[in-house]
Each structure stands twice: as C-alpha cells, then as structure tokens.
Amino acid sequence: MGQVADNLVMVQERIAVACRRAGRAADEVKLVVVTKTHPAEVIARAVAAGADRLGENYVQEAARKKPQVGGKAQWHFIGHLQTNKAKQAVELFDVIETMDRLKLGRELDRRCRAAGRDSLDVLVQVNVSGEESKSGGSPDETGALIDELAALPRLRVRGLMTMPPWFDDPEDARPYFRRLRELRDRLAAGRPGLDELSMGMSGDFEVAIEEGATIVRVGTAIFGARCVAARA
C-alpha cells in the first residue's frame, strides 16, 4: 500500500477510536476526503483504497479532475459557491455543504429541474464564531433559511456545516463544535431529516466527533501539504 492508502487507514482508525471514546458507533461518522489541489491520480489512489466521499472547493477544479478520478465516490462541494456556477455544481456534486443564501438555493433548484435531477442534498453553512472572515450565515437566521430552502422542491436540507476559527490547540475549537450541535438539536425539533453535522478537519476532527460530528472533512492528514501548483 502507498502512503495515501496508509494515511487513509490511519485516519479511519482515529475516527473509530474517537467514536468509541464518545460512545458512538464508528459508522455514525462519514469521512469526506478533501482533495483540493491534489492531482487526479493521487485522488484515484485514495478511492482505490476505499475513500467513498471526496470534497472539493472549486467547481472548475472538480470539473477537470472528476472524469480522471472515475470510481463511484460521492462528491461534496465545500468551498464558496458562486451563483453563476450553480449549473456546473449540479452536474458535478452529490452534496453542497456550503449553502448560505436563498438566492443560491433558488438557482440550484432551478438548475436541478433543467437537468432533470430530482433532488440535491445541501447542508446549511453556519458561521458560529461570528468572525467576519468566515462564510456562512448567522446562527439566528439559520432556521429561517432552512425553511425557505425546504420549500424548494428539489433541495433536501440534510443538516449544518461549520468551520470554526483556526487554533493550534484543537480543544479551543470544541465550544464552536458544541454550538453547532446545540443549534442543530434546537432546529431539528419540527424539522425531520436535519441529521448531519459536518465539522472537523485534519487538526481537530476527533474533538468534532466527540461533539457530535456526523461528517468530518479531512485533507492534509491523508495527502500531506497542499500542492499549490496543481490548482486549475
């Protein structure tokens, strides 16, 4: 097995250990392997080693690499999605994790209909820290946005996603993960299907799992440092 396959197995084991520590079943947590900047042949190695969900931040980059990667993995969009990229996003992605505004939701719904696609899973991105540099809506407005999106016939709102501020010590991210879980728990009352919590990256996914993550998004711990030159 190569380095990428070894790293993937190690991350899967760390997920299992964190689940056990938290009294959760290992299959409650889905791993999105974040592939941004990495070339298709390296991603294909991860898929061959069992990666079944891939995460990309740029529509163009995914369009270029997806045909070369092949396989049956689900593709998650985890970057900022411009409305004018909605058509391509509908063609390429199984899940949009960064839904942050109604206008984008309307456009995705319209593009699904045009493409004959029945449904598209989305997560609503929440800015739990209130930092201006972070994307996502405010926690106070999340319920209203979910209800507006739920009224669009082709979008299925499956849960919430967040990116806390960056810390050296992953313990410092814990309060933000907890805040997202508490928000989900509050909003899930009366909104069936709001199950997913996408939170936790290479540096802090174990803490996120302890706080209830159902999806973790991990790149560097599997592929090493990002390749700046590979971006389209």
Ligand X SMILES: *Cc1c(COP(=O)(O)O)cnc(C)c1O
Q: Is 57 in the site for ligand X (CB under 6 A)?
A: yes
Structure tokens at 15: 């997920």
Of these, 108, 124, 209, 218, which contacts ligand X (CB under 6 A)?
Answer: 218
Of these, 19, 155, 201, 208, which contacts ligand X (CB under 6 A)?
Answer: 201
Structure tokens at 46: 């991860």
Q: CB atoms < 10 A from the CB of 113, how many? A: 14
Q: Is 163 in the site for ligand X (CB under 6 A)?
A: yes
State the residue for tokens 């590979």: 230
Closest CB to ligand X among 153 and 165? 165
Query: What pairs with residue 32 in β-bridges?
Result: 217
Closest CB to ligand X among 33 and 152? 33
Of these, 8, 11, 19, 34, which contacts ligand X (CB under 6 A)?
Answer: 34
In 3D space, the residue among 37, 33, 31 whose CA is nearest the CA of residue 16 turns out to be 31
In the bound complex, what is the minimum distance in angstroms from residue 28's beta carbon to ligand X?
A: 19
Q: Is 124 in the site for ligand X (CB under 6 A)?
A: no
In the bound complex, what is the minimum distance in angstroms from residue 94's beta carbon to ligand X?
A: 16
- The interface with ligand X within residues 69-88 (CB under 6 A) comprises 78
Closest CB to ligand X among 105 and 164? 164
Residue 76's alpha-carbon distances to 14, 18, 104, 157, in angstroms, are 22, 23, 16, 14
In 3D space, the residue among 38, 192, 177, 163 whose CA is nearest the CA of residue 98 turns out to be 163
Closest CB to ligand X among 101 and 217? 217
**In this structure, are strands 120-125 and 155-161 parallel, antiparallel, or unpaired?**
parallel
Query: What pairs with residue 155 in β-bridges?
Result: 120
Query: What pairs with residue 81 in β-bridges?
Result: none
In the bound complex, what is the minimum distance in angstroms from residue 205's beta carbon to ligand X?
A: 8
Of these, 68, 220, 231, 232, which contacts ligand X (CB under 6 A)?
Answer: 220
Residues that bind ligand X (CB under 6 A): 34, 36, 57, 78, 163, 201-203, 217-221
